[in-house]
Amino acid sequence: MKTFAVIGDPIAHSLSPTIHNEVFRQLNLIASFERIHIHPNNLHSFINSNELDGFNVTIPHKQSVIPFLNKLDESAKIIGAVNCVHNGKGFNTDWIGFLIAMDLNHIELKGKNCLILGAGGAARAIAFALANNGVKSISIKNRTQEKAAQLLDWVQSFYPNPTSTNDPDIVINCTPVGMWPDTEPMPDLDITPNQVLVDTIYNPIETAWLKAGQKFGAKTVGGLDMFIAQGLASADIWFKDKISERIKLEPIKKELDTVLC
């Protein structure tokens, strides 16, 4: 029996087990997936002593786990954050999940002016994804301006591009603004009808910001497809097989639907 987990602090509300248990069910895999609460002080000893076949890493360990790993996948090294570990090697599947979600929702990135709201781990992974998919420009807006400037410098270091936040084609919310349980607030930004609004938040499935966007005629994409896709990309790494291509998404969504707002 293979054993997998997601580690974080807090971890009780993680929905990763829902995704992976459904994957195991669909493919008749004999495997388990649990949530493990790891306090930052115990991260090093957990990494050294666990006997798992693979695990996901979530807040607040995505960056702090790196010094304890033997090796990093190239994209995780560039992004500077790990959300998936296999045999002591760290990977980042958030950026892959974002690209798959864009593909599933028929969002063309090439040549588009993109604005990222936020400058944390998700913003970094998504900036990396945008830079690797030929967007025209990447702009960053963040509560702490200094962090926005740092993220922009980082992006410009490997993807020099013109930056302008005026009338972006695609806006991606990488902040927790609007996330359950505080679901009323929304990013403070004018919405225009031709825009694509992408939220990384998946609880609620449709945020107040996306609902407002629809009223303005914008196309909207919630965070659930990205969340499922980053989980399936992790499973591909753990099982060394493209199992994600054999998975039906609808039953996973149905399972998640029962626990999301």
- Indicate which single residue of 47, 127, 191, 201 sits in contact with ligand NAP (rule: CB under 6 A): 201
Catalytic residue at 141? no
Per-residue x/- track, 126-165, ligand NAP (CB under 6 A): ----------------xxx--x------------------
Residues 205, 171, 143, CA angle at the centre, nearest 5°? Answer: 90
Stretches 156-164, 205-213, 222-230, 252-260: which one binds ligand NAP (CB under 6 A)?
Answer: 222-230
What does the per-residue mask of binding to ligand NAP show for 94-113, with x meaning CB under 6 A?
x--x----------------
Report how far residue 250's alpha carbon sits from residue 128's, in angstroms, rounded to the nearest whole number.
Answer: 28
CA distances from 204 to 7, 119, 132, 162 (A): 22, 21, 29, 34
Please tell me whether residue 177 binds ligand NAP under the rule CB under 6 A: yes
Smallest distance, ligand NAP to C-beta of residue 30, A:
27
How far, in Å, are 41, 46, 84, 124 from residue 167 at the CA level? 44, 46, 35, 21
Catalytic residue among 62, 240, 242, 253: 62
Phi and psi at residue 92, in whole multiples of 5°?
A: -120, 115
230 lines the binding site for ligand NAP (CB under 6 A)? yes
Q: Residue 125: what are its φ and ψ, rounded to 5°?
A: -65, -40
Which residues are at the interface with ligand NAP (CB under 6 A)? 59, 94, 97, 118-123, 142-144, 147, 174-177, 179, 200-202, 223, 226-227, 230
